[in-house]
Amino acid sequence: MEIRECLPQDCEFYQTIDKDGNLVGEDPGLDEALLKDMFWWMLYGRLADDKAIKLQRQGRLGTYAPSTGQEAAQVGSALAMDRDDWLFPAFRELSSYMIRDLPFENILLYFMGDPRGNIPPAGIKSFPIFVPVSTQVPIAAGFAWAKKLQKEGCAVLCYLGDGGTSEGDFHEGMNFAGVFGAPVVFLVQNNQWAISVSRKRQTASRTIAQKGEAYGFPGIYVDGNDVMAVYIATKRALDAAKKGEGPSLIEAFTYRRLMHTTADDPKRYRTDEEQKDWEDKDPLKRFRLYLKNKGVWTQAWEDDLTLKAQDLIKTSVEKAESIGNLRPEEMFEHIYSEMTPDLKDQLGYLKKALEGKEIEEDAVELKGGFP
């Protein structure tokens, strides 16, 4: 089934290629270097995602939220950002983080339960993962308005998901952005599933894009598995924001091909047929066919990219796994700019307890004396 056939009737929907990579209108004429870049990031994102899932299955990574199937929505939008634009992620934007210079090892560390993964490398214009759903939306609006007041001329790209549009913070953030004309683009990765709850149970609206209208700014409905369409739509929206035309909402219609997180089992709530059908609409596959028709893609080129990605991934895994132990101090040092007297006491107490540890949790005997 074509993606268009999955949509509500008569919606304006932006798409450049169909599921087999054939142009649906005129060729958007994007630069060949950009097209190659798009393919590289999608491939790298896919392979990195595969690796993260494998590491989780081997007990080397904690609960992980996979991105497979959403690479076009992430790569198209993140590549549309200028150097000075800022990113507010949700928690399923692997390719976007990497495009914005957050190394894969940081993402691995984060999901390994290590706060050092959350330290953005200096100069990076991306905020850390936001776990509580849609809480980033009003923050991104405030940040964008601040950047406008500071006349920096940049814009903010804020990600969220289809489930996130149900939260109160979504409404409040969108409304503030509209009222203040903040230079922010809200990109909803509508992957159609919020864990087990389908998009149609999240909202009775025909589309998520139409919600933009209610807040007084454009809502753009775009094929989220079409990397060029997402790129062009996001670029236009970011440019408009920077020109002072205010915010936009983009609904990137895509599909979460795997589980919500590695703790989830999608077989409990959706059919194999549906998943199979979306395999057929996979963004990488489509774009590969387009590039092949164009004479840009060859198997040898992809093989080279695969080797390069695997190399980078291997290095990142090594870096993440060899980072060295955390110290108890690191739990206390960043609560306030200066440790309070209470925190100093508590750290001292913990260190003393750890140094003089007598009992392991599964001990059957108490070593030493006891009154």
Closer to other proteins by CB, 275 or 346: give it: 346
What is the pattern of x (binds other proteins, CB under 8 A) and - over residues 67-106? ----------------------------------------
Beta bridge partner(s), residue 14:
222
Please provide residue 69's backbone torsions phi and psi, each rounded to the nearest 5 degrees. Answer: 100, -15
**Which amino acid belongs to residue 198?**
S
Is residue 271 involved in binding other proteins (CB under 8 A)?
Answer: no
Among the residue ranges 42-50, 174-182, 264-272, 286-294, the one whose residues contact other proteins (CB under 8 A): 264-272
Hey, is 300 helix, strand or coil? helix
State the nearest-atom distance from the C-beta of 200 to other proteins, in Å: 11
State the nearest-atom distance from the C-beta of 61 to other proteins, in Å: 10
Among the residue ranges 27-35, 249-257, 291-299, 323-331, the one whose residues contact other proteins (CB under 8 A): 323-331
State the nearest-atom distance from the C-beta of 219 to other proteins, in Å: 19
At residue 159's C-alpha, the angle toward residues 154 and 165, to 5°, is 125
Residue 256 designated active-site:
yes
Q: Which of 46, 92, 256, 288 is catalytic?
A: 256
Figure out which of the listed residues 8, 121, 132, 348 binds other proteins, where binding follows CB under 8 A: 132
Is residue 146 involved in binding other proteins (CB under 8 A)?
Answer: no
Subset of 37-66 contacting other proteins (CB under 8 A) = 62-63
Beta bridge partner(s), residue 184:
156
Hey, is 195 helix, strand or coil? coil
Q: Which of 260, 286, 288, 290 is catalytic?
A: 260
Closer to other proteins by CB, 300 or 354: give it: 354
- Residue 151, phi-psi category: left (phi > 0), alpha (psi -120 to 50), beta (remainder): left
Residue 83 in tokens = 């150097």
Beta bridge partner(s), residue 250:
187, 220
Is residue 163 involved in binding other proteins (CB under 8 A)?
Answer: yes
Give the torsion sign (CA, 138, 143, 144, 145): positive
Is residue 2 involved in binding other proteins (CB under 8 A)?
Answer: no
Q: Nearest CA to 287 among 12, 5, 30, 97? A: 30
Among the residue ranges 206-214, 246-254, 299-307, 348-356, the one whose residues contact other proteins (CB under 8 A): 348-356
Residue 334 designated active-site:
no
Contact 170, 232 (CB under 8 A): no
| CA separation, residue 296 to residues 31, 62, 333 (Å) | 11, 38, 51
Q: Nearest CA to 140 among 97, 110, 183, 99? A: 183
Most distant CA pair in the chain, distance: 85
Subset of 199-258 contacting other proteins (CB under 8 A) = 201-203
State the nearest-atom distance from the C-beta of 75 to other proteins, in Å: 24
Is residue 25 involved in binding other proteins (CB under 8 A)?
Answer: no
Figure out which of the listed residues 10, 268, 299, 322 binds other proteins, where binding follows CB under 8 A: 268
Among the residue ranges 25-33, 97-105, 125-133, 218-226, the one whose residues contact other proteins (CB under 8 A): 125-133
Closer to other proteins by CB, 174 or 232: give it: 174
Hey, is 62 helix, strand or coil? coil
Among the residue ranges 194-202, 213-221, 223-231, 293-301, the one whose residues contact other proteins (CB under 8 A): 194-202
At residue 343's C-alpha, the angle toward residues 342 and 344, to 5°, is 90
Residue 179 in tokens = 């009222």
Contact 286, 21 (CB under 8 A): yes
Closer to other proteins by CB, 115 or 244: give it: 115
Subset of 103-122 contacting other proteins (CB under 8 A) = 111-115, 118
DSSP per residue over 104-135, as a string?
HHHHHHHHTT-GGGGSPPTT--BPPP--STTT
Residue 255 designated active-site:
no
Residue 121 in tokens = 């490398």
Instruction: Establish how many alpha carbons lie within 13 A of residue 315's alpha carbon, considering only the half-sphere containing its beta carbon.
Output: 8
Binding site for other proteins (CB under 8 A): 62-63, 111-115, 118, 129, 131-133, 163-164, 166-169, 194-197, 201-203, 263-264, 268-269, 326, 328, 330-332, 335, 340, 342-343, 346, 350, 353-354, 356-361, 363, 365-366, 369-371
By annotation, the residues acting in catalysis are: 256, 260, 269
